[in-house]
Structure 1
Amino acid sequence: MSEIISISNGSLTASIDTMGAQLMSLRKGESEYLWQGDSNWWPRRAPVLFPIVGVLKDSKAESAEGTISLARHGLARLNQFEVVEQSPSSVTLQLKSTEETRKSYPYDFELKLIFSVAGDTLTQTYEVTNPANVVLPFTLGAHPAFNIPIPGVEAASLDQYHLLFTRSWTSFGPSITDEGLCDYTTPQRLIVNSDTLPLSWELIDREKTITLEDVPDRRITLATSTETHSEAHGIQMDFEGFDYLGIWSAAPGCPFVALEPWCGIADTVDCDGIFEHKPGIMCLEPEQSITKTLSVKVF
């Protein structure tokens, strides 16, 4: 049965659902930063993406161990995790492969999600272990959605917000088709020698999902463009080891924006259907583990 686990340091409180290891709440004091879900827009809040990000072309792919058949964003978000370690300010949840998961993803795996709070920062660590004697191919990602307006900010429209980067750069990434596939024949080039990406409903509606590759220093800050620096409230996200960043919202006027660090992306329109050939795929050797960590600081 699903259970909500809360961790806190007295200032910052995070709540996590054992179903899917989904972050359900991120509060500083009484201020809620995380989107709280609404079926009129999007019922989820921050699903864990594993062992795929986005979609497979025709919902399937071939791999060394057989056919993989997975819906968008994979199976982790649909399965019950076990709490294996807990303290007042941290919790570790684990999902292991089962006979049922092997029907759609024919691999053994162990996936841990470690959540911890310190100061004004939530840290979320993914740990993937390969317990088998064959190579484990996978991608993973995060999908947290944040309330618009940000707590403490009067700006109520996405058009009044922007993403700040650590330095000026020129971005690159695939466009996204109506089917959710990545298309590099018509790449997105939304940032040209700038450290800022102004957000807007028109931009989100046109691009569907904004996909950025190799974000400088793997750090972004979501803030309003209507406040001075001394007045600013926002969200800083660090995601070292994640080579892609997705930016998404459900529809124009929707009161949230999702900021999604990814290791890997959806299939490309011209992919060959081989799972191990996916962009960003990680291939973990037997009895090895890998960790990826992201953090969210609220201010």
Structure 2
Amino acid sequence: MSSLHIENNRIALTTDNPAGQMISLVDRKTGHEILYQADEAWSGRNPSLFPMVGSTWKNGEYEWEGKTYAMKNHGLIRYEDLNGTISEDGQTITYTFDSNEETRSKYPFDFHFEMTYSLLEKGVRISYAITNTGNVTMPFSFGLHPAFKTVRQAQEKFEDFSIHFEPAAQAEQIVFQSDLSPVVREPKVLGTWNLSHEDIAKYATLIFDKIKAESATLYYKDQPRVKVSFPDFPLVALWNSGADNTFICIEPWFGHSDLEKVEVPFDQRENTMFLEPAETFNCFYDIETME
């Protein structure tokens, strides 16, 4: 274990490898853990998804310039040990990773990946800077997979929780099937979703595209608990591993897995982004306690 820890008067954050991910985010005022604590239901904790969200239709295989490559689910970074440092003032943690011979055997591009955790008054901001360090255009996708704790006490139920998106506005729900059927895009007002194992069983993952929402707040009944802010992300997904589990993943994405049969080069997958040599992609999201 190589965990790093920072805290202020309100928030205590612990991170660790692989992926330099958050393993604990505690509200020091209430003593409550905000993040789901990993087990066999979701051992991935809170990885960053790069350079691929999900997988290709061919179980991670894809074609690039006449060669076949393959990555595991959600790309490379979630499986790597990143170099982590704490700032002198003890308020930020920065992780970095550079492409190498092994990563190039799976993803033939050079990049520098940087992720910074900065403490806020009541939470943490997670910022990303991904730079193309090669000499060719780099196709990629990016997403997040934070998992949040819901039920704390015996009297609480998963179905007592809801997620409120702001601003509430029209979006498209991407509905996919397991029988090779084309995906269906259904118009949907993304406003309030009451947590439901029935919905999760029906859709596997609830995926919303073309969102206008910039935040999602997890409520217990009428009490807000955690706010996740994700400006500029075009998609958000909601996921839980099944009826025996009570965590909820609120996942801002810039792209998504192949949800129907597609056989195109990697750079032609839906929602693919591109970085020219020396260009940097930047984004961030915030997690804040609302108690």
TM over 0.5: yes
- Which letter does structure 1 place at the counterpart of 2:113? L
C-alpha distance in structure 1 between counterparts of 2:23 and 2:289, whole Å: 16
Alpha-carbon shift at residue 198 of structure 1 (Å): 1.8
Q: Which ranges of 4 or more aligned residues in structure 1 deviate by more than 6 Å?
A: none
C-alpha distance in structure 1 between counterparts of 2:12 and 2:280, whole Å: 29
Tell me the equivalent position of 1:264.
255
> Cα 1:65–1:114, aligned 2, differ >3 Å: closer, same or farther?
farther
Larger mean CA deviation between 161-170 and 278-287 belongs to 161-170
Tell me the equivalent position of 2:26.
27
CA contact (8 A) 1:135 1:283 kept: yes
C-alpha distance in structure 1 between counterparts of 2:66 and 2:109, whole Å: 7
C-alpha distance in structure 1 between counterparts of 2:154 and 2:191, whole Å: 24
The counterpart of 2:184, out of the listed 160, 183, 186, is 186
CA contact (8 A) 1:7 1:116 kept: no
Alpha-carbon shift at residue 64 of structure 1 (Å): 4.3
Alpha-carbon shift at residue 294 of structure 1 (Å): 0.6
The counterpart of 2:104, out of the listed 102, 105, 120, is 102
The counterpart of 2:266, out of the listed 264, 275, 284, is 275
CA contact (8 A) 1:18 1:81 kept: yes
Q: Structure 1: any 5+ residue segments left out of the alignment?
A: none
- Which letter does structure 1 place at the counterpart of 2:64? S
Alpha-carbon shift at residue 85 of structure 1 (Å): 5.3
- State yes or no: 1:42 paired with 2:42: yes
Q: Determine helix, strand or coil for the equivalent of 2:133.
A: coil
The counterpart of 2:141, out of the listed 128, 139, 142, is 139
- State yes or no: 1:53 paired with 2:53: yes
C-alpha distance in structure 2 between counterparts of 1:172 and 1:122, whole Å: 29
Q: Map 1:3-14 onto structure 2 (within 5 A).
A: 3-14=2-13
Q: Map 1:112-191 onto structure 2 (within 5 A).
A: 112-149=114-151, 156-178=156-178, 185-189=183-187, 191=188
TM-score by length of structure 2 reads 0.91
C-alpha distance in structure 2 between counterparts of 1:65 and 1:24, whole Å: 40
The counterpart of 1:244, out of the listed 232, 235, 249, is 235
CA contact (8 A) 1:162 1:198 kept: yes
CA contact (8 A) 1:109 1:130 kept: yes
CA contact (8 A) 1:18 1:93 kept: no
> Cα 1:99–1:207, aligned 2, differ >3 Å: closer, same or farther?
same
The counterpart of 1:208, out of the listed 204, 221, 224, is 204
C-alpha distance in structure 1 between counterparts of 2:127 and 2:193, whole Å: 27
C-alpha distance in structure 2 between counterparts of 1:94 and 1:66, whole Å: 28
Q: Determine helix, strand or coil for the equivalent of 1:125.
A: strand
C-alpha distance in structure 1 between counterparts of 2:83 and 2:45, whole Å: 20
Alpha-carbon shift at residue 66 of structure 1 (Å): 4.2
Tell me the equivalent position of 1:78.
79
CA contact (8 A) 2:212 2:234 kept: no
User: Deviation digits for residues 20-57 of structure 1, max 9, x if unmatched?
Assistant: 11111110112101011112x22221111111001111
- Which letter does structure 1 place at the counterpart of 2:68? T
C-alpha distance in structure 2 between counterparts of 1:128 and 1:247, whole Å: 25
Q: Determine helix, strand or coil for the equivalent of 1:170.
A: strand
Tell me the equivalent position of 1:18.
17
> Cα 1:184–1:197, aligned 2, differ >3 Å: closer, same or farther?
farther
Aligned length: 286
C-alpha distance in structure 2 between counterparts of 1:195 and 1:276, whole Å: 33
- Which letter does structure 1 place at the counterpart of 2:11? L
Alpha-carbon shift at residue 63 of structure 1 (Å): 2.6
- Cα RMSD of the aligned pairs, angstroms, is 2.1
Larger mean CA deviation between 154-163 and 289-298 belongs to 154-163
